[in-house]
């Protein structure tokens, strides 16, 4: 396998895992992506699907609560309740509605990232946004979110032309955007280094 293909969020989780945790997280991700039983990848899918429905629903709370009630896997109920507690207040505050959003691929050497924003939003001021939704228990760091934002920004013409990139830490109802003072050259250098590291760690975990 010469080219490694994972999601932008998997790469983001690698970036935030720290030096000690990177081999472990790569081993887990490699096992997941190469697994024949794809059900192991879908733990959070019911909640992400509910979020997509909720942003265009007259009763978003019913959509989210339906996903919570459907939880039937070990650990799902607590995870879904925490996601509901973070996502619903944010949605009420934001007053966003849904817009269609596409997908894209981002390449760096032997690494290909699948960029599939989970939500396309039209915000109250008319701005549109392509949103990656992070759902895991560890809090999303600003550094990792900035890496994800840059990758979404570089593919925005394919996913949501004219939109802005956003990354949401759904359990905490926190949304990140690229800061106006972000040093893009340094950020791109960091992403290039992290991409090379990801490929190396992936191959070492084989």
The closest of 85, 9, 91 to 57, measured between CA atoms, is: 91
pLDDT at 37: 46
Q: Give the residue from 81, 4, 8 showing the smallest Cα distance to 47.
A: 81
Condensed to tens digits (0 to 9), the pLDDT of residues 136-171 reads 999 999 999 999 999 999 999 999 999 999 999 999
- Among residues 204, 73, 94, 98, the alpha carbon closest in space to that of 160 is found at 98
Q: What local confidence, expressed as pLDDT, does residue 41 receive?
A: 60
Burial 26-47 (b: 16+ CB within 10 A, else e): beebbeebeeeeeeeeebbebb
Check the CA dihedral 29-2-140-103 and report its sign: negative
Q: How confident is the model at residue 116 (pLDDT cuts 50, 70, 90)?
A: very high
Q: Which residue has the higher pLDDT, 189 or 18?
A: 189
DSSP-derived letter for residue 202 is H
pLDDT of residue 206: 67
The pLDDT value given to residue 30: 78
Q: Which residues, 6 or more positions from 17, have their beta carbon under 8 angstroms from its beta carbon?
A: 24, 25
H-helix segments, the chain: 8-15, 18-34, 45-54, 60-69, 76-94, 142-154, 156-159, 184-204
Sheet containing 97-98: give its strands across. 97-98, 119-122, 128-134, 164-169, 174-176
- Domain extent listing, the chain: 4-43+97-204
pTM higher than the cut 0.75: yes
pLDDT confidence tier of residue 26, bands split at 50, 70 and 90: confident
């Amino acid at each position: 396998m010469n080219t490694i293909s994972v999601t932008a969020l998997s790469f983001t989780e690698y970036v935030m895992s720290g030096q000690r945790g990177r081999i472990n997280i790569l081993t887990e991700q490699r096992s997941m992506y190469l697994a024949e039983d794809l059900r192991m990848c879908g733990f959070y899918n019911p909640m992400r699907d509910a979020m997509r429905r909720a942003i265009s629903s007259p009763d978003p709370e019913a959509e989210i609560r339906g996903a919570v009630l459907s939880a039937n896997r070990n650990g799902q109920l607590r995870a879904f309740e925490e996601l509901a507690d973070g996502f619903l207040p944010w949605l009420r505050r934001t007053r966003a509605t849904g817009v269609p959003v596409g997908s894209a691929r981002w390449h760096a050497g032997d690494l290909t990232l699948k960029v599939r924003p989970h939500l396309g939003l039209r915000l109250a001021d008319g701005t549109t946004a392509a949103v990656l939704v992070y759902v895991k228990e560890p809090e999303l760091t600003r550094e990792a979110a900035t890496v994800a934002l840059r990758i979404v920004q570089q593919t925005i013409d394919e996913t949501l032309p004219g939109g802005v990139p956003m990354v949401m830490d759904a359990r905490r109802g926190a949304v990140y955007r690229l800061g106006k003072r972000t040093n893009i050259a340094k950020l791109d250098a960091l992403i290039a280094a992290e991409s090379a590291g990801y490929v190396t760690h992936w191959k070492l975990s084989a």
